[in-house]
Each structure stands twice: as C-alpha cells, then as structure tokens.
Amino acid sequence: MASSSFMAILTLALLLQTATSSAQLSTNFYSSSCPRVFSAVRSTVQSAIRNEARIGASLLRLHFHDCFVNGCDGSLLLDDTSSFTGEKNAVPNRNSARGFDVVDNIKSAVENVCPGVVSCADILAIAARDSVAILGGPSWNVKLGRRDARTASQAAANNNIPPPTSNLNQLISRFNALGLSTRDLVALSGSHTIGQSRCIQFRPRIYNETNLDSSFAQTRRSNCPRASGSGDNNLAPLDLQTPTAFDNNYFKNLIQKKGLLHSDQQLFNGGSTDSIVRTYSNSYNTFSSDFVSAIIKMGDIKPLTGSNGEIRKNCRKPN
C-alpha cells in the first residue's frame, strides 16, 4: 500500500514537472501585469527604424545572439563587471552587435508603463518580432515569461555563435545542438534578407572563393580592399537588392551565387539544403511561415522562468 502511494506521488510529481517545463512561456504572460508592453515596445522600435532602417536587422540579430548563448536570457545585454566578462566583446559581437541604446530606450518606455515587470530577454523577443513586421515581414504571437540572467559568458559567446566561416555541416550541427532543424537553419538564415555586414567578414569570400558571381564579387571589392586592416568596417548589404525589406530575395541571390558571406552561400552549394533554398526562393509565403515557426522555436531555448534569474531594472547590469 505504501509502495503504491509512493508511486502515485512520484507520478504526480513527474506530471507536474512536465507540465511546468512545457508551459514555461505563454503568449499572454503579461496580459494582466503589463497589458501595454506591446505598444510601448513597438512605438520605440518604429521610431528607431524611422531614424535608421538598418536598426531593425540589428535588433533581430541581438535576439539570435542572445538565444544562442546559454539560452534566451538577456545575457548579451550585460556590460562587463568585476565578476564576469560579458558577451559584447566576444568575437561575434565586437564592433558588430549594435542597437543596445535602442534596447535601453525600449526598456525605459516599458518601465514607464509597468515598472519591474518585463524582462530584458522578453524585450529582445518582442523587438525582434516588431522589427521584422515593420520591415514588411510576418508578425507572430511572441511567447513570453523569460527572466534575465545575472551573469554572462564571453567564452560561451565565442564558442556557440556560428562564425561566417562555417561550412554547412558545422551550421547544421550547431543548430541541431540547440534543438533547431536543418529547415529551421535555412529559414532563420533568411534574416539576412535585411541588414549589413562588415568587409572583414566577407573579404575572404570575395577574394578567395570561386562559387560566386564575378560581377557581384567585383562590386563588393570596390569598397572592401584586399589588404587586411584596410576598410575592415566598410559595410555591404547582406541582400544587395532590398536590404531594408524583409522578403525572399536573399534566397534568390544564393541561387545566383550572390551570397555575401561564406556561410550564406553554403546553404546553396550542391548540398542537402539546396532544395529548401529553391523552395523559399520560389515561395515567400513558405519562407515566411517557416521563419515564424523557427524563430518561435529559437525563443524557447533554455529560458529562465519562475524564480530563476531576475527582472533587470537596467538591461546593462544585474540588479
């Protein structure tokens, strides 16, 4: 009898644990505690994009680079402290990740309507959605309820964010390790339909690789000198046709061998993802739908919930 009671309690505990872990985030998390969060975020993002269209891509990228390092916990936003070295100066982010001042503005706007309620990690997720939608892409219901990390890891950022030198197998492996499929990888790479990249990131491709359109290479070389250290921070659009419109031209460019980064062109280079790229290049709706599914899935990576982490007052420093 005692044994069956114990088993019943154990089963109930396991069921509760499963329910808790599967229901961590929800689309109505702030419906009563901060119903104005969405309007506060959107108006600030809209204003920032009106000022500089590129910032939409930068805000979307912050959400990616946050989630890929120990989960979607706002750790990327932390400045260095005496007890840890943050992620802002990790190789994938140094002189590259941007939009932190806009996040500060969003946080201020949100704090004005409901102080101490909304996490910086959730602000990144909402701002990413709004950026995509404002630039002509899809919208979606963002799952919320993340809490903020109290620490950050430069080493994890260096190891976990795929560099632009990655080959297809490395990209697939990294995404799979985070629970993202190969199709998710291609759909999320479609984020490169907006934004810019620095010469230092694409120089090896335009001077050393052969699987690229020659006129495209010539165009890119015009503002990216061969010599290392010269023009390293000169910018070029990741999608040369519509760099501030969220569309499927990125995939059309790959088919024409006009991917800017080595890792971009790897998605269409005689490998297993060629067919997905063709599908997305032919159907914006399919790309859009898959992108939404993938970014929602990405937003579920190891969030801090419940009593874990904190709700930061200032996104740049722990409370």
- Reported as a pLDDT band with limits 50, 70 and 90, residue 19 is very low
DSSP letter string, 202-264: HHHHHHH-SSS-HHHHHHHHTTS-SSTTSSTT-EEESSSS-TTS-SSHHHHHHHTT--SSHHH
The CB density around residue 238, as the number of other CB atoms within 10 Å, is 23
pLDDT at residue 24 in the model: 86
The residue type found at 110 is: V
Give kind and range of the element (H or E) at residue 112.
Answer: helix 100-113
- Answer yes or no: are the C-beta atoms of 21 and 93 closer than 8 Å: no
5 has pLDDT over 60: no
166 has pLDDT over 80: yes
pLDDT digits (tens, 9 = 90+) for 94-125: 989 999 999 999 999 999 999 999 999 999 99
CA distances, 177 to each of 25, 174, 214, 265, 302 (Å): 21, 5, 36, 22, 12
- Reported as a pLDDT band with limits 50, 70 and 90, residue 16 is very low
Q: By CB neighbour count within 10 A (0-12 exposed, 13-18 middle, 19+ buried), where does 239 fall? A: buried
- Reported as a pLDDT band with limits 50, 70 and 90, residue 17 is very low
Query: Is 65 in the active site?
Result: yes
38 has pLDDT over 70: yes
CA distances, 216 to each of 240, 250, 290 (Å): 9, 14, 28
* % of residues, the chain, pLDDT over 70: 93
Which residues lie below 8 Å from residue 188, measured CB to CB, with a gap of 6+? Answer: 64, 175, 180, 291, 294, 295, 298
Ramachandran angles phi, psi of 251, nearest 5°: -70, -35
Ramachandran angles phi, psi of 168, nearest 5°: -60, -45
Q: What is the pTM of this model?
A: 0.92
pLDDT digits (tens, 9 = 90+) for 218-238: 999 999 999 988 999 999 999
**Hey, which bits of 105-234 come out as E strands?**
196-198
- Answer yes or no: are the C-beta atoms of 149 and 304 closer than 8 Å: yes
The residue type found at 173 is: S
- Reported as a pLDDT band with limits 50, 70 and 90, residue 12 is low
